[in-house]
Amino acid sequence: MRYSVFSWVVVLMALCSLSSAQTTPTVECPVVNIEVPKGLLPREGKAVFKVVIDPLDPEWRLKYRWHLSYGKIISGQDTPSITVAKPPSGTLTVIVDIGGFPKDSICLRTASQTVSWDAAPEPEKVATIRGALIEGGPPFTMEGVRGQLIQNPTNQLFVFLGFKPGTSLKSLAKREAQINDRLSNGIEKSRITIVRAEAEQDVTEFWRVPPGADIPKCDVCDTVKCPNISVTAPAGIVQPKEKFVFTGNLEGNVPPKAFFNWDVTGGRIVVGQGTMKIFVDADWNAGGATITATLTVQGLPDGCPKSASETGSVIIDPSPVLIDEFGRLTNARFKTRLSKFFAELQNNPNNQGYIINYGTEKEMKSRERLIVESVTFRGFDRSRITIVRAGEHESGKIYTKLYRIPPGADNPSP
């Protein structure tokens, strides 16, 4: 039986195709999961999620893209692990899209995970004693408070000492001493915080505060009327070198013995310390000035906000400063004027020098040569000097302008 050459080629191609089909390896799809962070505690601040691929072929060049149902990715986007800013409570779904598997595979390219955690703990009021004397309260009350602290060794105790107006400091000190004496056995003093607060009646509240909980708010102290403190910044635009004027404002019940103290940043108080209005001399710079004034009111009831702040700013749009300009001069006088210009630049080390020459091409080249000679002779930084040829001056004569350019300012037009 005879075969043509073409027939043999067809047979060989078929055999090669069959062999290739039989040896093509199949891709084993890995299991893709997202590892949930351990110990999702309230107020922890952040949580870490990591994608786990098993088995992971080291030849794969995988790419990762993470998505959240809400919240913010702090770091790790485009990597196998991300850090998430975790809210105090709620449910969060984390999704990762994975690319880079072999093109002919049908492997799963997405994984997701949903996690939940509880809200932050709340402070708990464990006891209330009405009246000025702690010793006059029920005996079991203080023992119950002490027992709460022993059973919860990581908790803090906040004690609000509510007192009627006119109560002496000696009486308050006695009440605090009674509290410390009754709780001192086996309880560290660092776990106990006592806060005095003026109220309509003498009363003591005991609050147990777990880790991560907010500081409690005294129920009986809500009757204390705290004044509202605010600070008003200068109205309108403060001109350069003018003084900033800040005014304090107090609304509500202000004790007659209250007194005032100001602190400022970015300047100095010239007039008004101890009063409700101050005049401030600012630290001006090329970009303007910014002053923050804080008013603190001393003598307010415990628990009342005692300070307020306000900031005043003036932003100056910097402009080029013309230092000198002149026409035809002798070489000696020309170099003298340049010396004064270089001194101005040395006094302003962050400024640039900008020189505009006018005249014929020959005249401008001549002045450029004198400028370069002066720069070289003084060892001045040549990179701080820009020389521009502006052509004919309106006077029709040779002319030069010397500018100092502050940071952020535009170069002048010829």
**Mean pLDDT, rounded, for 224-232:** 81
Percent of the chain with pLDDT over 90: 24
Query: What is the SS3 string spanning the chain?
Result: CCCCHHHHHHHHHHHHHHHHHHHCCCCCCCEEEEECCCCCCCCCCEEEEEEEEECCCCCCCCEEEEEECCCEEEECCCCCEEEEECCCCEEEEEEEEEECCCCCCCCCCEEEEEEEECCCCCCEEEEEEECCCCCCCCHHHHHHHHHHHHHCCCCEEEEEEEECCCCCHHHHHHHHHHHHHHHCCCCCHHHEEEEEEECCCCEEEEEEECCCCCCCCCCHHHHCCCCEEEEECCCCCCCCCCCEEEEEEEECCCCCCCEEEEEEECEEEEECCCCCEEEEEECCECCEEEEEEEEEEECCCCCCCCEEEEEEEEECCCCCEEEEEECCCCHHHHHHHHHHHHHHHHCCCCCEEEEEEECCHHHHHHHHHHHHHHHHHHCCCHHHEEEEECCCCCCCCCEEEEEEECCCCCCCCC
157 within a domain of the structure (yes/no):
yes
**Mean pLDDT, rounded, for 316-335:** 88
**Mean pLDDT, rounded, for 264-270:** 92
Q: How confident is the model at residue 16 (pLDDT cuts 50, 70, 90)?
A: very low
Q: Which residue has the higher pLDDT, 289 or 11?
A: 289
The tens digit of pLDDT for each residue in 341-397 reads 999 999 888 899 999 999 999 999 999 999 999 998 888 899 999 999 999 999 999
The tens digit of pLDDT for each residue in 144-162 reads 888 888 888 888 888 888 8
Q: Looking at 52, 85, 117, which one is the last position of a domain?
A: 117
Q: Are residues 202 and 260 in the same domain?
A: no
Q: Which residue has the higher pLDDT, 141 or 294?
A: 294
Q: Looking at 315, 341, 368, which one is the last position of a domain?
A: 315
Q: How confident is the model at residue 105 (pLDDT cuts 50, 70, 90)?
A: low
Q: What is the pLDDT of residue 24?
A: 45
The tens digit of pLDDT for each residue in 37-77 reads 765 444 456 778 888 888 777 777 888 888 887 778 888 88
Q: Are residues 36 and 64 in the same domain?
A: yes
Q: What is the pLDDT of residue 362?
A: 92
Q: Determine the structural domain holding residue 283 and report its residue range.
A: 228-315
Instruction: Look over the chain and give the mean of its residue pLDDT values, rounded to a whole number.
Output: 80
In the chain, how many domains are there?
A: 4
Q: What's 370's domain CATH number?
A: 3.30.1330.60
Q: What is the pLDDT of residue 8?
A: 45
